[in-house]
Amino acid sequence: MSNSFTSDPTLVDPGRVTASQTIRTTEIARLSDLANYCFATGGAYNVISQLYDDNSFCTNSNTFVDMAEWIIPRVSNEHNSLVVNLQAFCPTSANATAQLDLNIGSTKYTIEIPITDQGRYNASFNTGTITATGAHNEDEAVLALSLKAPTGQEVVLLGIQANWQALTSPLTTGNLGQHDDIFTPQGQTRQGTDKPLSSRWGVEMLNNINTLRRRPRVLFNWSGVHNTSSSSPISARGAGPKAIGRGDLSSFYSEVALFAGTSEDSNLYLRVWTKLRNYSSGDLFLDVMGNTLTLNSSNWQYHDIEFTVDEVPRSNQFGLSMYRAGVDDTRAQINTVSSTLKPPSANPHISGLCIIGV
């Protein structure tokens, strides 16, 4: 019995799965095929997509220096290959190098990617794939980026994109894990046979649908830039944003689709991850999507928040329920974010933000 699927799947005719219609093997086989396809490919799109101003994300260090870090949700326990595309350059024939560390729980996986372009937007992305070989059931992972330039040169990063690699057909036999949930692959050989329909198929399909509805999705992801360096006298060079600042409050968000039922299902949630640097003690308060978060520990911390915001006008343009996912533009958090009076070099500051939904 093969847990195969077609790409792209043939969808079920909605007129054939209504009351009074004969239950045909065609619909059962197509639903099973679609469920397998969704488990394999759902969520295998951008978990990171960030661009930087020219010459702001750069270093002239000839040893690896940590520069940025993101929290990313894991699609499932079976999706273990992260594809990373970098847009960067180094104006010399000697290649610069990027090092990527994928931390899942206490395990770290590392790859190095040579930077081959010698000019801005010259050729193509430099790509690498990090594959986790161990068994993990963590909900999230941390991706850290370091850069190294050849001696006497500088390397400049312009952008980064990352996504989990979709699974191929057929799926592995047996129950598959999605964090604490279970997905049961559907065997195409059995479902396509003209035999009595078992109640087990219906139970498994409903459970599979509920599992897939809880698959995490990145709504917003950002990392500040740290440890930049440059031999250039131009003040703007190597001056990438380290922290969320006062000037970011009006624009630090994305407009995303959140689907019907999200606010009514207790199993569906919005999770906000923040990273504090230079923290010592006390509480900081950050307003995100109508919720006030209390930040009181260094490194990464998360808050599960209530879904309380209203749709944005753009919903009418897309025919979807669109929402503003990001930091709220409120005066209450002016003392939390960085400014010229509270530079990140000498004060606690937010150097990373990730909002995960479904």
Same-domain pairing of 271 and 171: no
CA dist 350 and 243 (Å) reads 5
CA dist 158 and 51 (Å) reads 6
| 28, 201 Cβ separation under 8 angstroms | yes
Question: Looking at the domain assignment, is residue 306 inside a domain?
Answer: yes
pLDDT tens profile 161-194: 999 999 999 999 899 999 889 999 988 666 666 6
- Rounded mean pLDDT of the chain? 89
pLDDT at 181: 92
pTM of the model: 0.92
Same-domain pairing of 196 and 334: no
Residue 26, domain extent: 14-43+167-213
Q: Which helix (H) or strand (E) holds 28?
A: helix 25-41
pLDDT at 202: 86
C-alpha torsion sign, points 241, 245, 251, 254:
positive
| 143, 70 Cβ separation under 8 angstroms | yes
Question: Looking at the domain assignment, is residue 319 inside a domain?
Answer: yes
Same-domain pairing of 205 and 266: no
Same-domain pairing of 186 and 297: no
Same-domain pairing of 180 and 249: no
